[in-house]
Amino acid sequence: MSKSHRRFANYFIAPRAQFIFSAQMVVGALALAELQIVVMGIPGADGSFFWAKLVLALSIVAIVLYTLVVSHRVFGPVHAMEVYADKLLAGEADGPLTLRKGDYFTDLAARLSKIQEKLAEQEESAASNMSEAS
């Protein structure tokens, strides 16, 4: 598998949740578009219905792309924090949790990193106390 294909395949971290989020946004866009058509009135022969359909299609494409980006910025950090928390529990976390630029939940990631630092300090102090006691 090529690197670019792998990168795209890894884009869907939580595919089911991302799909549900995107589907909800598209349904909302369709409802708004239908409302727009109702407000504009029944399409006449002047071609306004064609433009409404075109705007609807472009809106759906824009909303799908937007939800893909937003869901990636949400579910990517959540997945990274889940993995990091598992490493913390196993005692295997070695260093701070870093997220990509533009990701959400950076404050929570910083808190998890501080927890890891405090745990490392406690382990070091416990090890030094045990060596002094010997």
Per-domain residue ranges of the chain: 13-133
pLDDT category of residue 45 using cuts at 50, 70 and 90: very low
Write down the pLDDT at residue 39: 62
Measured between its terminal Cα atoms, the distance across the chain in Å is: 55
**Would you list the DSSP string of 8-29?**
HHTT-SSHHHHHHHHHHHHHHH
Angle (deg, nearest 10), helices 15-40 and 48-90? 160
Greater model confidence, 118 or 7: 118
Query: Is the pLDDT score of 97 beyond 80?
Result: yes
CB 30, CB 36: distance < 8 Å: no
CB 93, CB 110: distance < 8 Å: no
The C-alpha atoms of residue 44 and residue 6 are separated, in whole angstroms, by 49
